[in-house]
Structure 1
Amino acid sequence: MTTIKSAPFDGDAPASAPRHKEATLSEDRVPAEASRVAIDPYQLPQRSVPTIKRIKEAAKTLLPDSLFLSLLHHKCIGRYPNLVRPVTFNEKILQRNLRPDPRYIELTDKLRVREYIAAKIGAEHLIPLVATPEVFTREVFDALPNAFVMKANHGSSFVEVVRDKSDTSFEKLKRRAEQWLAIDFYDIARERHYCTIKPRIFFEHLLLDARGQIPADFKVHCFGGQAGPPILYILVISDRFGSATHGDVYDANWNHLDIAIGFYKRSAKPAPRPANLESVLDAAAALSEDFDYVRVDLYAPDNHVYFGELTFTPGAGVLPFTPDRIDYEWGKLLT
């Protein structure tokens, strides 16, 4: 078993400059109508946006990336970032937005990353694919099973869960797919490694646990994997597509930490320690060993461990922490 370190909380090649497009940066990173995700860990609360504010937000897209990100960081975190000598976790993530490691492109693509995952921890940890069509046609829809998940490979929160195909239609999913494919995810928060990912729709097996429920999302923040056993913190998103969504942070020993990440509320009491927690941590450690930091998303229904995605710029560098000091403490872990 991989040895995992847990730290207590106390007090690269430049990417080519991407093009700018006239896109509105709304209160959410992805327009609400483009995603079925009930609550995203890193989304701001949704509210209607007046026309004047939309115009102002659209004008911001003409700004250079560094200035755009500074304003966005101030809006979301409440202070301007230091991009020259970053200290906080968010500031260091902003640097990754601007100067991403070239490896991020392939490993952020939710289809291309599958080969890497199979080589690192085995193909049995991949959620089975149902279809990866070049074009989503009625014939593709008709061939889909009764239950599935539709996703897009080029961004965050592009997820449509279908439990019963009779409750949806080809026309509805086609519109959703077209909305997703029209989004240049770089425009949302200037994460440059998204620029060259070719948008693609794909379909996965609907992953359910023994109770018939969608399993919790284990977002494992992995620090220092290149230097030895990583320091791991686990954000567990429960009932993500339901009405009782919570986000709870645990250390590698399953201690429930008094921390909130993004806009999820903590549960009143910790969840029971998963029986396969060690398998989850082992998979996260193996997938983080090539990086000084990466967030590894996993699912752990019953006695299985399935891969979700690798995220190198979580929250795009504008991720609120409660308490705010965690932004600084995690910044110390990210070298």
Structure 2
Amino acid sequence: MTTTNSVQFPGESGPSVPQQKAPSSTSTAPLRRQSTVRKIKEAAKSLLPAPLFLSLLHHKEIGRYPSLLRPTTFNEKILRKSLRPDPWFAELTDKLTVRKYVARVLGEEHVIPLLAAPDTFSKEVFDALPNSFVMKANHGSSYVEVVRDKSTRSFEELRELADHWLTLDFYKIAREKHYRQIEPRVFFEHLLLDKSGQIPADYKLHCFGGRSGRPTIYILVISDRFGSNTRGDIYDANWNHLDMAIGAYKPSAEPSPRPENLEAIRDAATRLCSDFDYVRVDLYAPDNQIYFGELTFTPGAGVLPFTPDKVDYEWGKLVPDAFLSARPPLPIPATQAA
């Protein structure tokens, strides 16, 4: 049977694209016809100019057509920036090349140890990996496979998944232009666990006006991301729980206790956002430590629903007008994956 999985934007549910697995011998004619129709629809969408494609996607996800000439909402500003990214977006969005920038700004100790970033994922690479690790791809979102016990996984299984990731063009999902410049690669990181053996929560800090030195910060916390009870809670910078939601994530029944290292989390985000008018800084903070996740300049590609909808307008006011302008390149050194 042909099955599909949805690729979601990191930490925030957004539009999805089907990933089709190879059909088995039990596939039926109706399913094959559905697959053909889907392929035709996807091919037709790929022919649309990016502004039209995104306007239609915005209407589908948000419920209204966007203003691209005079954007006012958060989504409209992010959407326009997806079409006109700054020149450094690709380098700092690439999950491999950004590591050197973060090491320089925040410190090497805050970068999750890199186990391998091979040109080719071979059996020799697999054999050299430790018993537990995380396999990722650098050129998109949700390309993450957690391996807790290598003895339960085969090289062939992981290579098939890695090869599949490398065939995917993340730009086609929501036309975020800077993703076209990222050369797809698979890499392997140390599996980050807290003292209880659990994968730590994602702290996704939306940072507005970082260049001012006093950014406005909202924190989206994604808990149990790889489990069966995934939740998304939003706090202000002082850890006041807010009655709102981003995407499809439901809030927890009870807010999480204030992290002991909240000040350190805010400080790390403030340092990482200091070169930008807006950026989402993703961090992990297990056991009073701080580890970098990623930088995201166009979260949800500008088609990310808010509940209530008025937050879209409120956050839009926080995005500086300078964010929409072409900015001179930052003094970011040329980076190469370690």
CA spacing shift, 1:166–1:46, aligned 2, 3 Å:
same
- Alignment partner of 2:190 out of 202, 205, 216: 205
- Alignment partner of 1:286 out of 271, 292, 303: 271
TM-score, normalised via structure 1 length: 0.87
- Alignment partner of 1:275 out of 256, 260, 264: 260
Q: How far apart are the structure 1 equivalents of 2:137 and 2:252?
A: 30
User: Offset at 1:46?
Assistant: 8.9
Q: How far apart are the structure 1 equivalents of 2:69 and 2:121?
A: 45
The secondary structure found in structure 1 opposite 2:95 is coil
> Does the CA contact (< 8 Å) of 1:223 and 1:293 recur in 2?
yes
- Alignment partner of 2:13 out of 28, 42, 45: 42
2:245 paired with 1:260? yes
Counterpart for residue 28 of structure 1: none
Q: What amino acid is aligned across from residue 268 of structure 1 in structure 2?
A: A
Counterpart for residue 174 of structure 1: 159
The residue correspondences of 1:9-88 to structure 2 (distance < 5 A) are 32=5, 41-44=12-15, 50-51=34-35, 52-88=37-73
Q: How far apart are the structure 2 equivalents of 1:100 and 1:184?
A: 17
- Alignment partner of 1:124 out of 101, 109, 119: 109
User: Offset at 1:227?
Assistant: 1.7
Task: Give the RMSD, CA atoms, in angstroms.
Answer: 1.9
- Alignment partner of 1:309 out of 294, 307, 315: 294
> Does the CA contact (< 8 Å) of 1:39 and 1:240 recur in 2?
no
The residue correspondences of 1:187-226 to structure 2 (distance < 5 A) are 187-226=172-211
> Does the CA contact (< 8 Å) of 2:205 and 2:218 recur in 1?
yes
Counterpart for residue 95 of structure 2: 110
User: Offset at 1:167?
Assistant: 1.4
User: Offset at 1:64?
Assistant: 0.6
Counterpart for residue 23 of structure 2: none
> Does the CA contact (< 8 Å) of 1:118 and 1:126 recur in 2?
yes
User: Offset at 1:164?
Assistant: 0.4
The residue correspondences of 1:137-176 to structure 2 (distance < 5 A) are 137-176=122-161
Q: How far apart are the structure 2 equivalents of 1:134 and 1:56?
A: 34
| Deviations 1:253-273 (CA, angstroms, capped at 9, x unpaired) | 100000100110001111000
- Alignment partner of 1:295 out of 277, 280, 292: 280
| Deviations 1:234-279 (CA, angstroms, capped at 9, x unpaired) | 0000000001110000001100000100110001111000001111
Q: How far apart are the structure 2 equivalents of 1:59 and 1:183?
A: 17
Q: How far apart are the structure 2 equivalents of 1:141 and 1:105?
A: 28
Q: How far apart are the structure 2 equivalents of 1:43 and 1:172?
A: 28
> Does the CA contact (< 8 Å) of 1:87 and 1:332 recur in 2?
yes
Counterpart for residue 247 of structure 1: 232
> Does the CA contact (< 8 Å) of 2:58 and 2:65 recur in 1?
yes
User: Offset at 1:43?
Assistant: 3.5
User: Offset at 1:185?
Assistant: 1.1
User: Offset at 1:196?
Assistant: 1.1
> Does the CA contact (< 8 Å) of 1:38 and 1:242 recur in 2?
no
Aligned residues: 303
Q: What amino acid is aligned across from residue 224 of structure 1 in structure 2?
A: G
- Alignment partner of 1:184 out of 152, 155, 169: 169
The secondary structure found in structure 2 opposite 1:67 is helix
Q: What amino acid is aligned across from residue 246 of structure 1 in structure 2?
A: R
CA spacing shift, 1:42–1:332, aligned 2, 3 Å:
same
